A and B are shown apart, each in its own frame.
Chain A
């Protein structure tokens, strides 16, 4: 089972989290065309590469967060974590 680097708790079993899928910004509902809006709803890039994705730390800190994961290797990068010198909170 994947260890997901929660920026608040630290590494957690993926079963403690809910996968939120690819991170895409919400289009402005006032101006979005059907194509744009439905792209936001349904279309995913699904790269075999680095991917920005959302997770919800459901059994833990209950925070949503975004991380970068390489879908081919399951390597994570740039999640500031507790204890990280990059600025996670202790």
Chain B
């Protein structure tokens, strides 16, 4: 097969004045603007583009479009590019895939000599045992796997995302699709027309007839003049619930790809038909092409596909291909007419000297075998809408059965007809789509609170009164009298499918998975029906009896980049963040918060807090503003302890358990006024607790008068901790007597701090030191922080981060929900059993906690390793002696700068919870160390004297 560029063709899309230079397989080539990669290479005489997946057989052009399984190439760092679809660009570095060591001398082609070993289910059968060889198998198989190379250094490229709410989306811009879009837009609908190829027109594009070209020009002009939004080189990749569509747009000027998520009121599926290969011996040889490929090469790109052709045709498209070939000077050596019962039986010989053998043994020498054996209806979008297409033997293809009313099919998917009939059907479909879309739009607008009021009643649901398209008879041509390739992407032959059926995998869904037929890059578009036909034949049944596989999204493969879209990774910072950044902070991402972890030396930060005074930015602490007379009732319900008698100005600690008794969250809540409280939650629990509280109030206690407002970021929260905290806070605070007598531990005051009114502060502390937690309005948070820093220079004030705080809280033995507790930790396991007041009428989780009170539970305990220098990793197991019987685990561990030894919290079985119990800790290294359970959770200052000072 030698190709070359023809003289100007009437329908060609190339600009012969614009030459583009590119590289293929390391060599320099030239093509024209408007070429695809494949057409440029074909014009230059290239005939082998890839090696097949398993047998590494040479492969050439088959369909010359997106679905061509043989035209997967690497372009620069972009793998799996469809060379039959991707337009040529100057400077492209195109390389073949799946070839080693080279395209033309492929060592793995030896696989085709031992092909009998690679039968159906080969991988399942061969690489099963022994299991310990799996890593080796994987490594070897990976080098044989198809697909391009992923360059891990590829920069992250800009992928875009857009949401749309069109009235009508038309998938496919052939003549019927364009007419549907025009008619819908003419009826006032907002229409999006999505075309897979880079230009609209469908099959009209590669017809050289004057009438087709005139119709195409007319349709294009009408589109230009309309309000239809046209997306070319774009694909409707999926249809989901309520006509939610994924659309990938590949030619957007600002992005590599743009993913559009569209809520279409009506979807019109007009994808046209896909030409089906024919199964016979040698059907995958270079030189065997579909009629569509021949016509596209000639008419779109002016490429002569061969010198001497045999045409096997069973339909008018095949006839047109023969006419095109003849017109451009390709010698048509023979036309084998499938409608007369004639068949092509095999293609033999090398790729440049093909010998077509007709059934009966007539041999014809040629370099091109054009096959027009019938159509696959790509019913994917209808499948995704729940439709189950039915097979029509007389027309030899599947047709839609009963899609939902907001999904309409037109064009070749719906039937056959003259161009005028197809256009009329498209137009009627567009009008129907617009009518139904108007009804949906009316309903949505009428029911949406924010929408403009809508006049009148909802339009009635328009009945489908379209004149149905006919169905042209077509011979059922699936396999000839020889066996051949069914799935060219996956190298699955008809023999493999027959073998699979014999082994019992005779349902199409099983055979598909067993042989991997239809599971490759073509995703069934070329090979599904042939697969079904092979299984039907093996079972001695009809195609209708076997049925087809269900096409699922995506319609066409799409990149991970397109799916990821633009990067939306929200992060939160406190108002003090600029100060942290200017002062050498190391941050940690906690939830969505960027938080100070430390400022260089967390141990030094701890020592400074224990001896002087430190500031920590604890803004992410969850804060809920509670207002209303029924707050005590609400707190009694949410927390395990009692809240009825909390006086104004007091703060109390509480633990929340879920309805299953498992610890949910903890924190302090203070009473700021008669009917005004502030609840704090853990930083990570802030969002969840808020929703939980709303759920209680809205669904279980709707009569209670409480309003909850999240104010986490309305305030910055600064904990001032250390022996000199009172001195420091006193220097910037007005209106509050900070003496221990008038402002003792666990109380709250409203104050003006650093000139900022409306701050409140409470005396609590996770660090175990004297501490004042100041909550200042966020718009002045940085100012308050800087004022504290300035005022405390002579006191040795310094910042401390999350790590320092975690060390100090561990020194004090405070557990962290989610760190020291897990999804099974019941309330009493925390050691806070006395805070669970079972004499309250009701609270969240009460029944479970009541039942738990009677049985021994794993407990959180403080643990110290016998070797003070040994810090066991968190999650190290606590085991029984030399056995591997697990009795608990270390949940938190650190070296304590204050005590100069390692300290831990852990969860242990009930019988190990008593102080003094000796434990064995199994380290991650496998070493076992001794450790001791402590009498108190607090490793440091168990009496809490510093805190209350």
Judged by CB atoms under 8 Å, the answer to whether A and B touch is yes
Listed in ascending order, the chain A residues whose CB lies under 8 Å from chain B are: 1-3, 5, 8-11, 13, 18, 20, 26, 29-30, 32, 34, 37, 40-41, 54, 56, 58, 62-64, 74, 81-84, 88-90
Contact code string B368-381 (vs A, CB < 8 Å = 1, else 0): 00000000000000
B419-456 toward A: CB 8 Å interface, digit per residue (1/0)? Answer: 00000000000000000000000001011111100100
Once the chains bind, are B242 and A29 in contact (CB under 8 Å)?
no
- Distance, CA A41 to CA B244, complexed state (A): 33
Asked whether B847 lies within 8 Å of A64 as measured between CB atoms, the reply is no
The residue on A at minimum CB distance from B700 is A26
**A56, B691: Cβ atoms closer than 8 Å:** yes
Which of B446, B447, B694, B847 meets A29, CB within 8 Å? Answer: B847
21 contacts between A and B (CB under 8 A): A2-B241, A2-B242, A3-B241, A9-B449, A10-B448, A11-B444, A11-B447, A13-B244, A26-B700, A29-B847, A37-B848, A40-B659, A56-B691, A56-B695, A62-B694, A63-B698, A64-B695, A82-B447, A82-B448, A83-B447, A83-B454
Q: Return B729 CB to nearest CB of chain A, in Å.
A: 37
A9 touches B448 (CB 8 A): yes
Task: Check A10 against B694 for contact (C-beta < 8 Å).
Answer: no
Binary flags per residue of B322-349, CB closer than 8 Å to A gives 1, else 0: 0000000000000000000000000000
A3-B607 Cα distance, complex, nearest whole Å: 56
Q: Are A84 and B847 in contact (CB under 8 A)?
A: no
With an 8 A cutoff between CB atoms, is B136 at the interface? no
* Nearest chain B CB to A56 CB, angstrom units: 6
Which residue of B242, B700, B841, B851 is within 8 Å of A3 (Cβ)? B242
Q: Whole-angstrom distance between the alpha carbons of A47 and B698 in the complex?
A: 26
Query: If the complex has contacts A3-B242, A34-B851, A56-B691, are A10 and B444 also in contact, measured as CB distance less than 8 A?
Result: yes
| Cβ contacts under 8 Å, B447 to chain A | 5, 10-11, 81-84, 88
Closest to B846 in A: A29
B449 close to A30 (CB less than 8 A): no
Whether B467 sits at the interface, judged by CB under 8 Å, is: no
A27 nearest in chain B by CB position: B847
Complex Cα distance A34/B846, Å?
12
- A83-B847 contact given A29-B842, A56-B691, A63-B698, CB 8 Å threshold: no
Neighbouring A residues of B848 by C-beta, 8 Å: 37
A60 to B912, CA, bound (A): 49
The 3 closest A-B pairs by CB, nearest first: A10-B448, A83-B446, A1-B244
CB-contact partner of B451 in A2, A10, A54, under 8 A:
A10
A20 to B842, CA, bound (A): 22
Interface centre among B446, B447, B448, B700 (most CB of A within 10 A): B447
Residue of B nearest to A8 (CB): B449
Asked if residues B449 and A1 are in contact (CB atoms below 8 Å), the reply is: no
Least CB distance, B672 to chain A, in whole angstroms: 24
Nearest residue, chain B, Cβ from A81: B447
Q: Identify B448's interface contact among A11, A40, A54, CB under 8 A.
A: A11
A64 vs B702: C-alpha distance in the bound complex, in angstroms?
11
Measured in the bound complex, the distance between the Cα atoms of B454 and A13 in whole Å is: 21
Q: Does B461 contact A (CB under 8 A)?
A: no
Q: How many whole Å from A8's CB to the nearest CB in chain B?
A: 6
Contact A18 B449 (CB under 8 A): no
B727 contacts chain A at the CB level, 8 A cutoff:
no
Closest to A3 in B: B242
Docked CA distance A54–B694 (Å): 13
Cβ contacts under 8 Å, A62 to chain B: 694
Decide yes or no whether B117 CB sits under 8 A from chain A.
Answer: no
Determine if B127 is an interface residue (Cβ-Cβ < 8 Å): no
B660 near A: Cβ within 8 Å? yes
Contact (Cβ within 8 A) A54 B659: no
Using CB atoms, name the residue of chain A closest to B261.
Answer: A1
Q: How far is the CB of B699 from chain A (nearest CB, A)?
A: 5
Q: Please measure, in the bound complex, the distance between the C-alpha atom of A29 and the C-alpha atom of B849, giving whole angstroms.
A: 11
Task: Judge whether A10 and B449 touch: CB under 8 Å.
Answer: yes
B241 A64 Cβ-Cβ under 8 A: no
Which residue on chain B has the smallest CB distance to residue A82? B449
Answer whether residue B579 sits at the interface, using C-beta atoms and an 8 A cutoff.
Answer: no
Is the CB–CB distance between A30 and B841 below 8 Å?
A: yes
Cβ of B915 to closest chain A Cβ, rounded Å: 33
Residues of B within 8 A of A20 (CB): 695
| Residues on B with beta carbons closer than 8 Å to the beta carbon of A83 | 446-448, 454
Cα separation A10 to B448 with both chains bound (whole Å): 4
How far is A81 from B700 in the complex, measured between Cα atoms in Å?
A: 22
- Within 8 Å CB of B123, what residues of A? none
- Across the two chains, which residue of chain B brings its CB closest to A28? B842
Alpha-carbon distance between A40 and B659 when the two chains are bound, in angstroms: 9
Residues of A within 8 A of B122 (CB): none
**Complex: A82 Cα to B659 Cα, angstroms:** 33
Q: Does B240 contact A (CB under 8 A)?
A: yes
* Given A8-B449, A10-B449, A83-B447: A41 and B694 interface contact (C-beta under 8 Å): no
Closest beta carbon of chain B to A54's beta carbon, Å: 7
**Residues of B with C-beta under 8 A to A3:** 241-242, 263
Contact A37 B241 (CB under 8 A): no
A9 — nearest CB in chain B belongs to which residue?
B449
Q: Which residue of A lies closest to B245 (CB)?
A: A1
- Closest-by-CB residue of A relative to B454 is A83
Q: How far is the CB of A67 from chain B (nearest CB, A)?
A: 13
For A73, give the chain B residue with the smallest CB separation: B386
Measured CA separation A14–B660 after assembly (Å):
27
Q: Report whether A74 and B241 are in contact in the complex, using a CB–CB cutoff of 8 Å.
A: yes
Q: Could you list 9 further interchain pairs (A-B, Cβ under 8 angstroms) beyond the known A82-B447, A82-B449?
A: A1-B241, A2-B241, A3-B263, A10-B451, A34-B851, A37-B847, A58-B691, A64-B694, A74-B241
A31 and chain B: residue at smallest CB distance: B847
Residues from chain A with a CB closer than 8 A to the CB of B841 are 30
Within the assembled complex, what's the spacing in Å between the Cα atoms of A3 and B85? 35
Q: Which residues of the other chain, A, contact B242 by a CB distance below 8 angstroms? A: 1-3, 74
Contacts of A29 in B (CB 8 A): 842, 846-847
Highest count of chain A CB atoms <10 Å: which of B454, B691, B699: B699
Output the least CB separation between A70 and chain B (Å).
13
A37 to B450, CA, bound (A): 41
Alpha-carbon distance A84/B443, docked complex (angstroms): 10
A1:B240 contact, CB within 8 angstroms: yes
| A residues in contact with B448, CB < 8 Å | 9-11, 82-83
Cα separation A84 to B449 with both chains bound (whole Å)? 11
Q: How far is the CA of A9 from the CA of B694 in the complex (A)?
A: 17
CB distance from A63 to the nearest CB of B (A): 6
Instruction: Please name all residues of chain B whose beta carbon is closer than 8 Å to the beta carbon of A89 when the two chains form the complex.
Output: 449
Chain B 679-700 interface 0/1 with A at a Cβ cutoff of 8 Å (1 = within):
0000000000001001100111
Which chain A residue lies CB-closest to B699?
A64
Judge whether A18 and B241 touch: CB under 8 Å.
no
Residues of A within 8 A of B700 (CB): 26
Query: Bound state CA distance, A46 and B444, in angstroms?
Result: 29
Q: Which residues of B contact A10 (CB under 8 A)?
A: 444, 447-451
Decide if A30 touches B842 in the complex (CB within 8 Å): yes
- Report the separation of the CA atoms of residues A5 and B447 in the bound assembly, to the nearest whole angstrom: 9
CA distance in complex: A37, B352 (Å)? 77
How far does the alpha carbon of A5 sit from the alpha carbon of B443 in the complex, in Å? 12
Distance from A83 Cβ to chain B, minimum over Cβ atoms (Å): 4
Indicate the member of B242, B444, B841 with the most A CB atoms within 10 Å: B242
What is the chain A residue whose CB lies nearest that of B845? A29
Please determine whether B851 and A54 come into contact, CB atoms closer than 8 angstroms: no
Q: How far is the CA of A84 from the CA of B446 in the complex (A)?
A: 8
Nearest chain B residue, comparing its CB with the CB of A1: B244
Instruction: Compute how far the CA of A63 lies from the CA of B697 in the bound complex, rounded to whole angstroms.
Output: 10
**Residue on A nearest B163 in the bound complex, by CB:** A13
Contacting A32 at CB < 8 Å: which of B241, B244, B847?
Answer: B847
- Which residues of chain A have C-beta atoms less than 8 A from B699's C-beta? 54, 64
A30–B659 Cα gap in the complex (Å)? 14
Chain A contacts for B847, CB-based, 8 A = 29, 32, 34, 37
Cα separation A16 to B672 with both chains bound (whole Å): 34
Task: Write out the residue numbers on chain A whose beta carbons fall within 8 Å of the beta carbon of B444.
Answer: 10-11
A40 to B841, CA, bound (A): 19
Inter-chain contacts of B698 with A (CB < 8 A)? 63-64
> Once bound together, how far apart are the Cα atoms of A58 and B691, in whole Å?
8
Closest to A89 in B: B449
Q: Which of A8, A10, A30 gathers the greatest number of chain B CB atoms within 10 Å?
A: A10
